[in-house]
């Protein structure tokens, strides 16, 4: 037995392996690295030479020596999934030395601070919203001194006559309407691929029409290429665009033409349009309940119409019992202004009309669902609203219709039918008030609320020079200015309309429908 | 005993360092085979379980092709993509088709198509060296008998010593040859009736004439892969165009467009449900 012990021992040893503990106890101190002085979100404009190091300025608290630390900055599309952020390095400087030349969108910026002595690192990230000079801001539709149409655009600075700058000439004729269409689809003239962008659509009283993508204000659509059938007939009077739940809609005197709105955000359509549906149209369109239909004024029918939410047909709007209440009123009605008011949990659409033959004005008010007429009020001729040519809606802060009469601002109460004068704090009485509007974004979260705002804008005019006074939320209370305006713009031309364009990509018809499910309609004004 | 112990010790050492290895037998497919290749809507090769009836048949219309190319064709070549099973070879391998009799309006070799054993045809029918797929031609002939009705050319792969037929579902195909308009095989899959009304040969002819487009399978695939709003527009456009053309005919003292059974031509879409 002893004799086989050693061979067996040898066999066992032959299966053995050696290990040696080469480790040592930690000899370096691991101090913390604290990254401070960062906001959660930043907004910058692209393509204007802004360097991130002038915007994002973190401070780092640590016991490590300064020359022991490395700084690495990464930037990537915030909506991207399954990516390694280390593939998107933009800077290895202490400050992010990176000139922002990015398409409009949301980006994530990550800072990594690492101690080389022990590889300990800390990270911080912020959200970066980018816009171009054209993809965000207030667009000002104006009549040029020679009686044509152009746009000014305010995004931190006022860019003037951007249509003439971009296309070589202003649009022909006096301005008619300015409409914003989010997530419009088109064929990118550069790549010849289907694409999606927010759009600025402009129409004039001479029936000119142009549709610009907001990223760089490239003219994409015009009278010659909007229809599948070829150039528009001479009798086509374009009024503008609006968004319905399932469709992106163009409205003209021939009705409403539409294409299916993208749900995914990916382009599926050329944005070109086929045959119209519905009877007539105008620039006055309001959607009070997305699934209840679209209320619009028809200049050809001289009536308030309701199109179904598929925009496939229209009927003359009736009262809640189905009665043709409009038949009691003159047949020559013209619409002067319209809006939606959402206060106290109630939505109310209104259309201010006038009968040229009778010289009377009527206020058609919708029910809260936006699928019938609640009542039609014949305005007493003593009311300023019955005389004013400058009328605008209050959207979300007071149940008012604003009007200007005798160079004074009045508010007509939609609930009381009475009026009150509203002092225009901070505006010299020597200036002539020629324009008012309430612009706002009011999303609850199904669509990002990052850009929400509510601004009351008053315009004054001296010849072809305009001033626009912006009363921001902190300068307003209950729909009335309580302090001097926070911003004043001055430019050339006669202001016809002002619309705010958000750089957001998530304002789709379906998301607007989801907002409605949260009880939130009237998220931004269509027309006024 | 001592020797035995030493021997055991040595054996133990050897065993401790030993490992096993066995040569694997390479997979050899003795009989290369051929299959027709079909694609689904996403452009991916169709698997057996996903194959659809309409994939197994191709309609060839001399009238449609002539309208597409802009000349009256009396002969034409139809290409079919085939793929191999088995390993690649470093030389060209001939492919030969053979007709299957269906007993119902079978195409006649030399009358409706160039015989499959034609030397010139065979010279074009091969899998190139080191390739696993190729396009194989069938040359169709426009015979006067086609005016009396369509003919069916059902075919499979002939065992020519290089290849045998592959999977049953992928080794037989039918070519329907006609001289008049033929309903494109993908008309129904694109819901043509729901967009342009029930298919008729006269409507098909008018669609080609009025638009200048071929309205064959390729065109339909391209049309329906594009802007659906354009299809909707075309649907309405044909209705209006028909009204316009009918009026012109009436003004000229002619009858409106009618189908062979006397029914007025209609582009009214069939309801979706």
Cβ-based neighbours of B155, under 8 Å, separated by 6 or more: B97, B98, B99, B100, B116, B138, B172, B173, B174, B175
Q: Do residue A14 and residue B12 have CB atoms under 8 angstroms apart?
A: yes
Q: Do residue A274 and residue B8 have CB atoms under 8 angstroms apart?
A: no
- Residues forming beta bridges with residue A490, ordered by sequence position: A467
Segments in chain B below pLDDT 70: 1-30, 41
Q: Which of A7, A260, A275 sits opposite B12 (nearest CB)?
A: A7
- CA–centroid distance for A372 within its chain: 28
Per-residue CA distances from A317 to A286, A296, A367, A466 (Å): 13, 9, 11, 38
Residue A337's pLDDT is 97
Q: Which of B7, B211, B233, B236 should one mutate to test binding to chain A, selecting the residue with the greatest count of A CBs within 10 A?
A: B233
Residue A24's pLDDT is 58
Q: Do residue B1 and residue A3 have CB atoms under 8 angstroms apart?
A: yes
In whole angstroms, what is the distance from residue B47 CA to residue B86 CA?
Answer: 17
In whole angstroms, what is the distance from residue B190 CA to residue A513 CA?
Answer: 30
Q: What number of CA atoms fall less than 13 Å from residue A183's CA on the CB side?
A: 26
Q: Are A141 and A178 in contact (CB under 8 A)?
A: yes
Q: Are B181 and B63 in contact (CB under 8 A)?
A: yes
Q: Are B95 and B123 in contact (CB under 8 A)?
A: no
Query: A524 to chain B, minimum CA–CA distance in Å?
Result: 27
E strand residue ranges, A406-506:
408-413, 419-422, 432-441, 453-462, 465-471, 476-477, 480-481, 487-492, 494-501
In whole angstroms, what is the distance from residue A71 CA to residue A114 CA?
Answer: 7
Q: What number of CA atoms fall less than 13 Å from residue A482's CA on the CB side?
A: 7
**Chain A residue closest in CA terms to B233:** A274
Q: Do residue A7 and residue B230 have CB atoms under 8 angstroms apart?
A: no
**Chain A residue closest in CA terms to B17:** A14
Give the long-range contacts of residues A62-67, CB within 8 A, separation 24 or more.
Answer: A62/A31, A62/A32, A62/A33, A62/A34, A62/A113, A62/A115, A63/A29, A63/A31, A63/A32, A64/A31, A64/A33, A64/A115, A64/A117
pLDDT, one tens digit for every residue, chain A (528 residues): 555 666 565 665 566 555 566 665 555 556 789 999 999 999 898 888 899 999 999 999 999 999 999 999 999 998 888 888 889 999 999 999 999 999 888 899 999 999 999 999 999 999 999 988 899 999 999 999 999 999 999 998 999 999 999 999 999 999 999 999 999 999 998 889 999 999 999 999 999 999 999 999 999 999 999 999 999 999 999 999 999 888 999 999 999 999 999 887 788 899 999 999 999 999 999 988 777 889 999 999 999 999 998 999 999 999 999 999 999 999 999 999 999 999 988 899 999 999 999 999 999 999 988 889 999 999 999 999 999 999 999 999 999 999 999 999 999 999 999 999 999 999 999 999 999 999 999 999 899 999 999 999 999 999 999 999 999 999 999 999 999 999 999 999 999 999 999 999 899 988 988 898 888 889 999 877
Burial of A325-358, coded b for 16+ CB within 10 Å and e otherwise, reads bbeebbeebebbbbbbbbbeeebbbbbbbbbeee
Residue A513's pLDDT is 87
Give the DSSP letter of residue B147: G
- CA nearest A42: which of A123, A114, A100? A100
Residue A23's pLDDT is 61
Q: Are B164 and B157 in contact (CB under 8 A)?
A: yes
Per-residue CA distances from B208 to A205, A514, B157, B192, B247 (Å): 40, 44, 35, 14, 20
- Could you tell me how many CB contacts below 8 A there are between chain A and chain B? 56
State which fold the B11-178 domain adopts: Immunoglobulin-like (2.60.40)
- CA nearest A302: which of A341, A335, A259, A258? A335
In whole angstroms, what is the distance from residue B85 CA to residue B170 CA?
Answer: 12
A228 interface with B at CB cutoff 8 Å: yes
Alpha helices, DSSP H only, in A118-221? 162-167
Cβ-based neighbours of B138, under 8 Å, separated by 6 or more: B77, B78, B79, B80, B97, B113, B114, B116, B153, B155, B175
Strand, helix or coil at B66? Answer: helix
A-chain residues near B233 (CB < 8 A): 228-229, 273-275
Q: Are A500 and A494 in contact (CB under 8 A)?
A: no
- CA nearest A339: which of A379, A297, A377, A301? A297
Q: Which of A4, A15, A272 sits opposite B5 (nearest CB)?
A: A4
Angle at A237 between CA A235 and CA A242, to 5 degrees: 145
Q: Do residue A15 and residue B236 have CB atoms under 8 angstroms apart?
A: no
- CA nearest A269: which of A194, A189, A215? A194
Boundaries of every domain in chain B: 11-178, 184-273
Cβ-based neighbours of B247, under 8 Å, separated by 6 or more: none
Residue A306 has a CB neighbour count (10 Å cut-off) of 22
Cβ-based neighbours of B269, under 8 Å, separated by 6 or more: B193, B194, B195, B196, B197, B235
Three-state helix/strand/coil letters over A353-416:
EEECCCCEEEEEEECCCCCCEEEEEECCCCCHHHCCCEEEECCCCCCEEEEEECCEEEEEECCC
Query: B1 to chain A, minimum CA–CA distance in Å?
Result: 9
Q: Which of A5, A8, A9, A11 should one mutate to test binding to chain B, selecting the residue with the greatest count of B CBs within 10 A?
A: A11
Strand, helix or coil at A187? Answer: strand
Query: B19 to chain A, minimum CA–CA distance in Å?
Result: 14
| pTM to 2 decimal places | 0.79
- Strand pairing class (B151-157; B97-100): antiparallel
Rg, Å, chain B Cα set: 29
Angle at B20 between CA B16 and CA B21, to 5 degrees: 150
């Amino acid at each position: 037995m002893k004799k086989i012990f050693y061979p067996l021992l040898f066999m066992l040893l032959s299966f053995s392996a050696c290990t040696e503990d080469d480790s040592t106890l930690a000899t370096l101190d691991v101090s913390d690295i604290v990254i401070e002085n960062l906001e959660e979100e930043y907004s910058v404009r692209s393509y204007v030479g802004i360097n991130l190091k002038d915007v994002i300025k973190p401070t780092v608290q640590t016991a490590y020596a300064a020359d022991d630390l490395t700084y690495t900055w990464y930037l990537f599309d915030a909506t991207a999934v399954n990516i390694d952020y280390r593939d998107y390095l933009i800077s290895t400087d202490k400050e992010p030395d990176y000139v922002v030349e990015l398409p409009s969108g949301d980006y994530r910026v990550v800072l990594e601070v690492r101690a080389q002595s022990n590889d300990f690192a800390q990270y911080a990230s912020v959200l970066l919203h980018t816009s171009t000079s054209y993809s965000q801001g207030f667009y000002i539709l104006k009549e040029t001194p020679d009686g044509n149409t152009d746009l000014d655009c305010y995004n931190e600075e006022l860019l003037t006559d951007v249509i003439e700058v971009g296309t070589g000439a202003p649009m022909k004729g006096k301005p008619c309407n300015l409409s914003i269409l989010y997530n419009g689809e088109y064929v990118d003239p550069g790549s010849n691929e289907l694409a999606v962008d927010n759009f600025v659509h402009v129409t004039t009283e001479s029936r000119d029409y142009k549709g610009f993508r907001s990223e760089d204000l490239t003219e994409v659509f015009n009278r010659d290429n909007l229809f599948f059938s070829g150039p528009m007939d001479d009798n086509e009077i374009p009024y503008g665009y609006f968004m319905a739940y399932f469709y992106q809609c163009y409205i003209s005197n021939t009705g409403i033409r539409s294409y299916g709105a993208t749900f995914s955000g990916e382009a599926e359509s050329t944005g070109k349009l086929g045959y119209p549906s519905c009877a007539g149209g105008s620039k006055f369109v309001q959607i009070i309940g997305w699934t209840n239909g679209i209320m619009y004024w028809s200049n050809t029918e001289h009536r308030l119409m309701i199109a179904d939410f598929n925009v496939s047909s229209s009927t003359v709007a009736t009262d809640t019992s189905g009665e043709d209440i409009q038949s009691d009123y003159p047949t020559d009605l013209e619409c002067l202004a319209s809006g939606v008011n959402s206060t106290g949990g109630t939505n109310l659409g209104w259309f201010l009309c006038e009968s040229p033959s009778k010289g009377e004005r009527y206020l058609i008010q919708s029910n809260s669902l936006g699928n019938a007429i609640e009542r039609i009020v014949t305005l007493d001729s003593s009311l300023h609203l019955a005389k004013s040519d400058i009328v605008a809606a209050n959207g979300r802060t007071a149940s008012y219709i604003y009007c200007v009469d005798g160079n004074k601002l009045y508010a007509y109460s939609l609930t009381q039918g009475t009026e009150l004068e509203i002092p225009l704090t901070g505006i010299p009485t020597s200036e002539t008030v020629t324009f008012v509007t309430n612009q706002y974004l009011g999303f609850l979260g199904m669509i990002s609320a990052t850009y929400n705002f509510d601004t009351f804008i008053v315009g004054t005019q001296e010849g072809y020079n305009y001033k626009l006074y912006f009363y921001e939320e902190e300068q307003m209370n209950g729909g009335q200015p309580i302090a001097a305006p926070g911003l004043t713009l001055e430019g050339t031309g006669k202001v016809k309309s002002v619309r705010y364009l958000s750089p957001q990509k998530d304002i789709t018809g379906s998301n607007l429908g989801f907002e409605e499910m949260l009880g939130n309609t009237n998220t931004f004004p269509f027309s006024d | 005993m001592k020797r035995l112990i030493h021997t055991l010790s040595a054996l133990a050492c050897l065993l401790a360092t030993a490992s096993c290895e066995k040569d694997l037998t390479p997979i050899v497919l003795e009989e290369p085979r051929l299959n027709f290749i079909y694609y689904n809507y996403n452009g991916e090769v169709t698997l057996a379980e996903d194959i659809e009836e309409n994939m197994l048949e191709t309609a060839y219309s001399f009238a449609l092709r002539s309208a597409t190319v802009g000349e009256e064709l009396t002969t034409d070549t139809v290409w079919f993509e085939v793929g191999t099973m088995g390993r690649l070879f470093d030389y060209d391998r001939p492919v030969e088709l053979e007709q299957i009799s269906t007993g119902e309006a079978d195409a006649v070799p030399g009358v409706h198509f160039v015989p499959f054993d034609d030397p010139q045809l065979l010279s074009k029918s091969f899998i190139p060296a080191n390739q696993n797929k190729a396009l194989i031609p069938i040359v169709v002939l426009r015979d006067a008998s086609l005016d009396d009705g369509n003919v069916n050319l059902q075919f499979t792969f002939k065992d020519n010593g290089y290849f045998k037929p592959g999977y049953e579902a992928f080794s037989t195909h039918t070519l329907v040859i006609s001289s008049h308009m033929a309903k494109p095989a993908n008309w129904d899959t694109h819901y043509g009736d729901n967009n342009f009304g029930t298919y008729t040969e006269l409507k098909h002819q008018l669609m080609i004439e009025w638009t200048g487009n071929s309205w064959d399978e390729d065109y339909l695939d391209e049309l329906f892969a594009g802007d659906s709003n354009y299809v909707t527009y075309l649907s309405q456009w044909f209705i209006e165009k028909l009204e316009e053309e009918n009026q012109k005919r009436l003004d000229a003292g002619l009858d409106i467009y009618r189908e062979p059974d006397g029914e007025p031509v209609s582009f009214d879409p069939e309801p979706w449900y």
